[in-house]
């Protein structure tokens, strides 16, 4: 039995690390590495062993467990702290929509670059956007059609969101409108000229030494207890039970675990259907660069044989994601591919090899990849969170947990979309506030 603590933190991702940094409270992490889905790891060409740090000869690809995670936005004070812990580089986003049937790359967001789609489609799309109804959209699909019109919905937004939400887009509520910024003025500007970059991640930062360096330096200032996967939370006795048979008491609990999981582990039952989520299979690939490999940092895909929705190019962001011998030559590429599933519905193990092979073949067919040297899949159980129209589940869940002395915090803990910087801010604020209240 572990010693009882006044307050404990569950989860050693960036939110939990920030809470521990601000408070000094112990952090219980399920794995033997910190950083959560944002943590980096390394794979040598032709090998399967995940390395926690770059090898001395530098001959390894850098990947991240959850695909590319970049630091965008953020409070200036938080960014200053991160810079002191792990210096970063700044980047201007290069992203696009890729249409495999024609090989056309349209800069993101597609609605602000209509000139790439031809005069006929541009004129039709502008007309539809200009006449968009003012009605309140109940679902994401209704919002898409009202905001961008039937033409763009049919051409890109519909098929993309079918893949991205694993089929939920016709039933979930609209959210995160800033991911697909609308506006007729910029659409007109882009149809006849060049529209300026827009969106929440038009610029971003990334640590020079990788996200694992940032996570490691935060963890070095915290008390992290690894390999502590939670199996049960008893809010009445205020105890947490772990898979290794140990347990610990607490007076207050800070949980960065996904909100639905915290409710289930603590047997917090609500009289409302839980909001949905999508899981994501991330397939990290390193290999020889193909002849038509894009220069973009990532691309959105409305159609693909294996039904993935995004392809990101780590090494287009920075060459440090490549083995050292290729960083100057640029003859290799480091890639992540995202394929969404209905929440918790992971593909059978026997299908995984076939699926990874199909993804590699698709990228070869597109000319993005010439030969794969490493192919490494990771399952992210709770990747994107959504809500049903009119749902009160999230609010009720947060309130019920707080009443049971459990404080959810962070992107997944509060069931919202936000980036690394804002999640760190949340952890710092909650850790500091709880510390000062005791």
CATH number at residue 19: 3.50.50.60
Whether 265 has a pLDDT exceeding 70, the answer reads: yes
Torsion angles phi and psi, residue 67, rounded to 5: 80, -175
Statement to judge: residues 284 and 377 lie in one domain = yes
Whether 1 has a pLDDT exceeding 90, the answer reads: no
Statement to judge: residues 304 and 365 lie in one domain = yes
Statement to judge: residues 318 and 366 lie in one domain = yes
Statement to judge: residues 264 and 405 lie in one domain = yes
Whether 4 has a pLDDT exceeding 80, the answer reads: no
What percentage of the chain has pLDDT greater than the value 70?
98
| Preceding omega of 422 cis (within 30 degrees of 0) | no
Distance CA 112, CA 114 (A): 6
Whether 134 has a pLDDT exceeding 80, the answer reads: no
Comparing 183 with 93, the larger pLDDT belongs to 93
Statement to judge: residues 326 and 349 lie in one domain = yes
User: What CATH number is given to the structural domain containing 354?
Assistant: 3.90.660
Statement to judge: residues 328 and 396 lie in one domain = no
Statement to judge: residues 320 and 182 lie in one domain = no
Statement to judge: residues 235 and 286 lie in one domain = no
Whether 126 has a pLDDT exceeding 90, the answer reads: yes
pLDDT band of residue 315 (cuts 50, 70, 90) is very high
Question: Is 425 part of a structural domain of the chain?
Answer: yes
Domain boundary residue, one of 187, 220, 241: 187
Distance CA 152, CA 112 (A): 11
The whole domain housing 300 covers 44-93+276-385
pLDDT for position 178: 65
pLDDT for position 357: 97
Give residue-wise pLDDT tens across range 61-117: 999 999 999 999 888 999 999 999 999 999 999 999 999 999 999 999 999 999 999
Torsion of CA 164, 170, 176, 177, to 10 degrees: 110
Torsion angles phi and psi, residue 168, rounded to 5: -85, -10
The pTM for the full model equals: 0.94
* Count of domains forming the chain: 3
Statement to judge: residues 330 and 364 lie in one domain = yes
Statement to judge: residues 28 and 167 lie in one domain = no
What percentage of the chain has pLDDT greater than the value 90?
85
Domain boundary residue, one of 154, 187, 220: 187
Residue 213 in contact with residue 1, Cβ under 8 Å? no
Whether 182 has a pLDDT exceeding 80, the answer reads: no
């Amino acid at each position: 039995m572990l010693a009882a603590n006044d307050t404990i933190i569950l989860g050693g991702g960036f939110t939990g690390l920030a809470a521990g940094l601000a408070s000094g409270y112990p952090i219980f992490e399920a794995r033997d590495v910190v950083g959560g889905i944002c943590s980096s790891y390394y794979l040598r060409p032709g090998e399967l062993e995940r390395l926690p740090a770059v090898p001395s000869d530098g001959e390894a690809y850098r990947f991240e467990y959850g695909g590319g995670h970049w630091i965008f936005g953020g409070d200036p004070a938080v960014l200053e702290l991160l810079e002191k812990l792990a210096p970063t580089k700044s980047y201007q986003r290069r992203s696009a929509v890729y249409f495999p049937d024609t090989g056309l790359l349209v800069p993101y967001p597609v609605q602000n670059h209509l000139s790439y789609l031809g005069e006929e489609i541009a004129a039709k799309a502008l007309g539809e956007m200009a006449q968009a109804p003012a009605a309140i959209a109940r679902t994401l699909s209704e919002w898409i059609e009202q905001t961008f019109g039937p033409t763009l919905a049919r051409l890109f937004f519909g098929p993309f969101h079918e893949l991205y939400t694993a089929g939920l887009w016709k039933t979930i509520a609209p959210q995160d409108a800033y991911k697909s910024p609308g506006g007729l003025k910029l659409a007109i500007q882009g149809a006849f000229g060049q529209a300026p970059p827009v969106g929440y991640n038009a610029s971003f930062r990334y640590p020079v030494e990788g996200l694992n360096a940032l996570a490691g330096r935060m963890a070095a200032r915290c008390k992290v207890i690894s390999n502590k996967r939670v199996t049960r939370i008893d809010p009445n006795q205020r105890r947490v039970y772990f898979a290794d048979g140990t347990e610990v008491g607490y007076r207050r609990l800070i949980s960065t675990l996904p909100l639905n999981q915290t409710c289930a582990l603590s047997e917090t039952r609500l009289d409302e259907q839980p909001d949905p989520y999508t899981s994501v299979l991330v397939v990290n690939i390193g290999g020889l660069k193909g002849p038509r490999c894009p220069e973009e940092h990532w691309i959105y895909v409305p159609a693909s044989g294996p039904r993935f929705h995004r392809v990101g190019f780590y090494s287009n962001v920075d060459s440090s994601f490549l083995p050292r011998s290729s960083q100057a030559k640029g003859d290799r590429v480091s890639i992540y591919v995202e394929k969404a599933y209905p929440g918790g519905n992971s593909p059978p193990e026997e299908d995984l090899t076939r699926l990874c092979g199909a993804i590699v073949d698709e990228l070869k067919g597109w000319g993005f990849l010439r030969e794969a040297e490493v192919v490494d899949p990771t399952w992210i159980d709770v990747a994107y969170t959504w809500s049903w129209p009119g749902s009160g589940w999230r609010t009720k869940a947060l309130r019920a947990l707080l009443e049971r002395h459990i404080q959810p915090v962070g992107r997944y803990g509060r069931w919202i979309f936000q980036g690394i910087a804002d999640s760190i801010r949340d952890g710092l604020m909650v850790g500091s506030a709880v510390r000062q209240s005791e």
